[in-house]
Amino acid sequence: MNQELDISVVIPLLNEEESLKELTDWIGKVMHENKFTYEVIYVDDGSTDSSWEIIEGLKLQNPNIKGIKFRRNYGKSAGLNVGFAAAEGKVVFTMDADLQDSPDELPEMYRMIIEDGWDLVSGWKKKRYDPLTKTIPTKLFNLATRKMSGINNLHDFNCGLKAYRKNVVKTVEVYGEMHRYIPVLAKWAGFSKITEKVVIHQERKYGVTKFGLERFINGFLDLLSITFISKFGKRPMHLFGSLGTIMFGMGFISAAYIGAIKIYHLSQGVKTVLVTDNPYFYIALTSMVIGSLLFIAGFLGELISRTSTTRNQYNIEKEI
C-alpha cells in the first residue's frame, strides 16, 4: 500500500504560462527543506496560451506534478472541485498560480492542521497590493459574508491560499462560483474548527487579474443561494410556508378590518365608499395572493425535496 502523502497543492489556473516554472520550483524547494511528501495538481481551466505545454514539461522533470486540463473555461470552482477529487494528501492546500500566494506559508499552515487540530486554515492578506477599486469592495464583501455566515473570525474569505484537512475537501462540493465560500460550506457540513493565518501578499509579477468587479455581484448572489440551500434545502416549507402564512394573515386581517368598517358605517347610516374603491383593499388582496403563492412554492419545494435522492444523505464523522 502506498504511503499517504503529507501535502496536496491544488492550483487552478488560466493563462499563467510565465509563472508556472517559478512557482513549481518554489513549492519544491519548500517541500524538500521540510521533508514533506507532496503532489502539485495543476488544473488548467481552458488556457489559450502555452500553460498546458509547460505543465507537461514540468511533469516530465518532476513526478510530483500532476495536471488536469479542461476543454474550455469552466471557472475556478470547477477547477477546485476536480482538484479536490484528485488530491491524496493528508492536508490539501489551494493557492493561485500568479505568484501572489507564497509557498513559504505552507509549513506553518500544515502544522496548524496536523498539530493544532484545525479543520481549515484560511489565509488573510492583511497587507494587500491591490488598488482601492478592489480592496474596498473586498472589505464590504467580507463583512457581509461574516454577518450572514456567522464565521466572525475570518477577515478574508476570498484568499486563494487555504489549508484543509483531507476529509473537508472530500465532503464539500464546490460549484458555480462557490469557491469564495468554502469556509461557509465547510462550517455547514459540520467542520467548525476554522481559523485564519496572516499571510504575505506578493505583488503580481506576471500577467493581469482574471476577475472583474462583476465577481462581487455574483458573489453576493451566491452567498444568498448558499445561505438558503444550507438552512432550508431540506425543509423549504419552513421558509416559504412561514412567509406565506404571515403575508396571507396580514392581508386577510386587513381585508376583514376594511369589511367590518364598511358594515359598521352602513349600520350607522353613514355614507361610505365602496370597498372596491378603497386602495387599501387591493393592498390587502395582493398580500393574500402573494402569501398563497409563497405557500404553494413551499409546498412544491417540499415535494421536490422529498423525492430528491440526497434527502437522507448526512455527513457522518465516526462510527464504531
Write out the E strands in 2-56.
7-13, 38-44
- Which residue type sits at 131? P
Tell me the pLDDT band of 310, cut-offs 50, 70 and 90: low
Tens-place pLDDT, residues 20-34: 999 999 999 999 999
**Mean pLDDT value of segment 280-286:** 92
The pTM for the full model equals: 0.73
Tens-place pLDDT, residues 169-185: 999 988 777 888 899 88
pLDDT at 233: 63
> Nearest-CA neighbor of 27 among 106, 145, 119?
106
Tens-place pLDDT, residues 246-264: 999 999 999 999 889 888 8
- List b or e across 104-142, with b for residues whose CB sees 16 or more CB atoms inside 10 angstroms: ebbeebbebbeeeebbbbbbbbeeeeeeeeeeeebeebb
pLDDT at 316: 47
251 φ/ψ angles, rounded to the nearest 5 degrees? -65, -40
Distances (CA, A) of 264 to 65, 251, 252, 271, 280: 83, 20, 18, 11, 17
- Give the relative orientation of helices 236-267 and 214-232 as an angle to the nearest 10 degrees: 90
pLDDT at residue 227 above 90? no
> Nearest-CA neighbor of 179 among 229, 122, 130?
122
pLDDT at residue 220 above 80? no
The CATH fold of domain 7-232: Spore Coat Polysaccharide Biosynthesis Protein SpsA; Chain A (3.90.550)
What are the extents of the domains in the chain?
Answer: 7-232, 236-306
Which residues are CB-contacts of 97 (< 8 A; sequence separation ≥ 6)? 11, 12, 13, 16, 19, 20, 23, 42
| CA–CA distance, 8 with 247 (Å, rounded to integer) | 51
- Ranges 22-26, 122-126, 254-258, 271-275, most confident: 22-26
Radius of gyration of the CA atoms of the chain, in A: 26
